[in-house]
Structure 1
Amino acid sequence: MNGADSTDHGDGHRAYIGSFTSGGGRGITVAAVDPSTGALTPLSVTRSLPDPSYLTVSRSTGVVYAVSETEQGAAGAFRPTAEGLVPAGPAVRVGGSGPTHLGLAGGRLLTANYASGSVSSLSVAADGSLSGPASVLTHRTTGPDGSRREAHAHQVLPDPSGRWVLSVDLGTDSVRICALDAATGALRVHSETVLRAGSGPRHLVPHPTEPVVYVLHELEPQLTICRWNPASGRLEPVSEVPVASRGASGAVRPYPSAVVASPDGRFLWAAVRGADVIVTFSLADGPEKPQLTGTVGCGGHWPRDLAADPSGRRLYAANERSGDVTWFDVDPLTGRPRRAGSLPVPAATCVAFD
């Protein structure tokens, strides 16, 4: 498989698929996306960065960024070419261990470093390349009851206004709202929202048009609905809804992994590992009142990531343990996904689109 592909791929949209090279993955797979069916056709593979488990694409430059989820912790930048992805300079150490997520904000690349419980900020040049050293914010590890707790930053992303950075910590059961210094790239904690102890918040997604944020928990199969105030930088929990049943004694334990909002704000979807399902929520009663309306199989085993294509008409599940990316057509009336196809991708971890 290489970049010398002569097939007509329509409007030229691409999907970028991360994987665990330590688990048999090939690195970053580039695939063409059929605009009519959503089908993925592999074009090339980039193997230069170990364990590129999470990816994001710059909307302004088209540069693809990836974490290297290793003990040393690094991030890489890649330019798309006709022959595949080409490194935009060397990978840069993030100053933290086990980065699991990354996002772009204020001209910086931010990474959530799970193993070291920190968030890092790297300089991004005009051409999209990265440089260090990283500015690192280490999460405090004292719990609300004064006990010592182990921080595990799992996600970092800008809020919709672009004014704040939100950092989700599975270990401290909290979301930190940070200010980003435009000159130095340093992060400063502005406020912290503490969620239910032991729930293990993993990922969040903002509603596309309303000041509401949905936090998905890994250790408890639940979704916390929060009001978001971009003026004050405050996140207020409002309610919780279950994502999956905990099951009877001896049943497979559910581990929710990713939450996605439809671009039109009508639906939410959550992937649940163990149960290996995708759960659909309707927001017809309002953004603060998600209603669980259906559950379908993820098409494989252990859906580590779930992504919507830019149109919101399709969902893509990266099924890590079965080694595939499965795509689903979304019913425009009910939001329920219907399996449409699958591409083998060993140790698949993430799907991102240009």
Structure 2
Amino acid sequence: MKIRLLSLSFSFCFLNCFAQNIPLYIGTYTDGHSEGIYKLQFNLKTGELSRLQLAIATENPSFITYSPNKKYLYAVSESLGGSVSSFKIQENGLLKFLNKVSSNGTGPCHISLNKQGNKAVVSNYRGGSASIYSIARDGKLNEASQIFDYNTTDIISHAHSAQFFRDELYIADLGMNALYQYKLKNNNYELATPSIFKTTENLGPRHFALTKNGQFIYIINEHGSSVTSVKKTASGFKQIDYDSTLDENYQGKNSCADIHLSKNEHYLYGSNRGENSIVVFKRNKFDGTIEKIQTVPVHGDWPRNFTLDPSGKFLLVANQKSRNISVFSIDTSSGTLTFLHDVKAPTPVCLLF
């Protein structure tokens, strides 16, 4: 009887512990330390990362994203002959290659899908363009249906990220210092606003975060080491705030990278490459303005992409140059971060839950 009880207890513990673990996929640069997309197990209770394994070998998958049902994974190949690939997620968590299409520009650095999972948009950093794709029911990518080329005779475009929101599409162009707004008409996206904010400075808008209702947009500026806060109004867009991402005592060079809202949208997080930190802002949910409340070191070098886990209790940072992933706990009552631990990983640049 005791043996049976011990067996049942062990089985329950094993299943419970297993249920607490979810996969974390890692996009990388294949620079000799990495071979492609990797996978780790993440413990939702403790924040522990374990069981690093290669999910699939592929060239420079610097940005990766899921389909909404998490049956498929999509990755850019940030190279001169830019491409984007689709993969099927197998039962063991490893990836099976489905197909590859041209990104229609060199250096693709970002991909995102719409809520329905039937369209994707890819940003080409070196090519200065963005491409729209339809996605088949089997997860495969069709050739691009629309291509936006932002290069002009006197300014070099660097499209860096894009997101769908309902029937709209937003594309951040670091070279053009613009965040374009498109609207869907007759199954094509048409330019509605050349830029949702105005600037005479070389800020370099890189990534951005939208609130769930789409009313507020927070843009992190790579060159400006700052966040531009914009509110959507009945007549267009209005800039409501502009804040530095750096500690007031920091005097060195810096390039901002990524930005995310907390699950409850009370807090905003941004990454600084150079200062090597995560900045935390408290957000006023009524007027959308933000206030800096914390700057924490990332315990690594060159924090590119970071992400919040599905529970909203942990924040994980991909430190590209030091080749490690840092894990922070989030105090949900204050939004502040506390460093827990880190693990080594091959040139991580994108993290995906």
Query: Shared fold by TM > 0.5?
Result: yes
Cα deviation for residue 256 of structure 1 reads 1.0
Contact 1:221–1:245 (CA under 8 A) maintained in structure 2:
no
Amino acid at match of 1:328: F
Shift of 1:179: 2.6
1:318/1:350 contact within 8 Å kept: yes
**Deviations 1:303-345 (CA, angstroms, capped at 9, x unpaired):** 0011111221110100000001111100122211111121211
> Is the partner of 2:176 in helix, strand or coil?
coil
**Using the alignment, how far apart are the partners of 1:165 and 1:45 within structure 2?**
33
**Residues 131 and 88 from structure 1, CA distance in 2 versus in 1: closer, same or farther, beyond 3 angstroms?**
farther
Once the two structures are overlaid, the 10-residue window that deviates more, 267-276 or 19-28, is 19-28
Matched pairs, number: 335
SS in 1 for 2:194: strand
CA distance in 1, matches of 2:269, 2:293: 10
1:51 pairs with one of 52, 56, 60: 60
Which of 126-135 and 339-348 deviates more?
126-135
1:203-257 deviation digits (Å, cap 9, x = unpaired)? 100123461110100001111110124x77x433222111115867xx4311111
SS in 1 for 2:31: helix
CA, structure 1 residues 109+336, in 2 after alignment: closer, same or farther (shift >3 Å)?
Answer: same
Residue of structure 1 in register with 2:110 after alignment: 101
SS at match of 2:18: coil
In the other structure, the counterpart of 1:28 is: 37
What residue number does 1:125 align with? 136
**Structure 1 segments unaligned to the other structure (5+ residues):** 1-5, 143-147
- 1:116-265 alignment to 2 at 5 Å? 116-133=127-144, 135-141=146-152, 148-159=154-165, 162-180=166-184, 183=187, 186-193=188-195, 194-196=197-199, 197-209=201-213, 211-229=215-233, 234-245=236-247, 251-265=251-265
TM-score, normalised to structure 1, is 0.88
The answer to whether the 8 Å contact 1:9/1:33 transfers is no
- Deviations along 1:266-304, one digit per CA (max 9) or x if unpaired, are 101111000000111111474522110011111210000
In structure 1, C-alpha distance between the alignment counterparts of 2:42 and 2:218, rounded to whole Å: 28
Question: 1:131 aligns to what SS in structure 2?
Answer: coil
For the Cα contact (< 8 Å) 1:44–1:83, is it kept in 2? no
Q: Return the offset for 1:128.
A: 1.3
Question: Aligned-pair RMSD on alpha carbons?
Answer: 2.2
3-state secondary structure, aligned to 2:110: strand
Runs of 4+ in 1 over 6 A off after TM superposition: none
Point out the structure with max Rg over C-alpha: 2
How does the TM-score come out when normalised to structure 2?
0.88
Match of 1:3 in 2: none
SS at match of 1:9: helix
Match of 2:26 among 6, 17, 26: 17
Alpha-carbon distance change, 101 to 28 in structure 1, aligned in 2, over 3 angstroms: same
Q: Is the 8 A contact 2:296 2:337 kept in 1?
A: yes
Retained in 2: the 8 A contact 1:33–1:39? yes
Relative to structure 1, is the Cα distance of residues 269 and 61 closer, same or farther in structure 2, using a 3 angstrom cutoff? closer
* Aligned 8 A contact 2:155 2:175 in 1: yes
Higher relative contact order (CA 8 A, sep 6+): 1
Tell me, yes or no, if the aligned pair for 1:18 and 1:55 is still in contact at 8 Å. Answer: yes
SS in 1 for 2:142: strand
Aligned CA distance change for structure 1 residues 210 and 75 (closer, same or farther; 3 Å): closer
Q: 1:43 to 1:127 in 2, by over 3 A?
A: farther
How far 1:88 sits from its partner (Å)?
4.2
Secondary structure of the residue that 2:260 maps to in structure 1? strand
Does structure 2 conserve the Cα–Cα contact (< 8 Å) formed by 1:137 and 1:188?
Answer: no
Q: What residue is the counterpart of 2:10 in the other structure?
A: none
Q: Give the structure 2 partner of residue 145 of structure 1.
A: none
What percent identity do the matched residue pairs reach? 25
Query: Hey, which of these two has a bigger chunk of helix by percent?
Result: 2
73-82 vs 107-116, which deviates more? 73-82
Confirm whether residue 268 of structure 1 aligns to residue 277 of structure 2.
no
Residue 192 of structure 1: how far off its partner (Å)? 1.8
Q: Which runs of 5+ in 2 are unaligned?
A: 1-13
Secondary structure in 2 matching 1:137: strand
> Contact (CA 8 Å) 1:88, 1:129: kept in 2 or not?
no
2:5 corresponds to which residue? none
What residue in structure 2 maps to residue 283 of structure 1?
Answer: 283
Q: Which residue of 2 aligns with 1:308?
A: 308
Change (3 A) 1:238 1:129: same
Q: Within 1, Cα distance between the matches of 2:51 and 2:185? A: 40
**1:11 positional shift:** 4.1
Distance 1:156 1:238 in 2: 22
Taking the aligned partners of 1:221 and 1:133, their CA distance within structure 2 comes to 33
The CA distance in 1 between the partners of 2:189 and 2:214, in whole Å, is: 26
Instruction: Find the aligned partners of 1:270 and 1:298 in 2 and give their Cα distance.
Output: 11
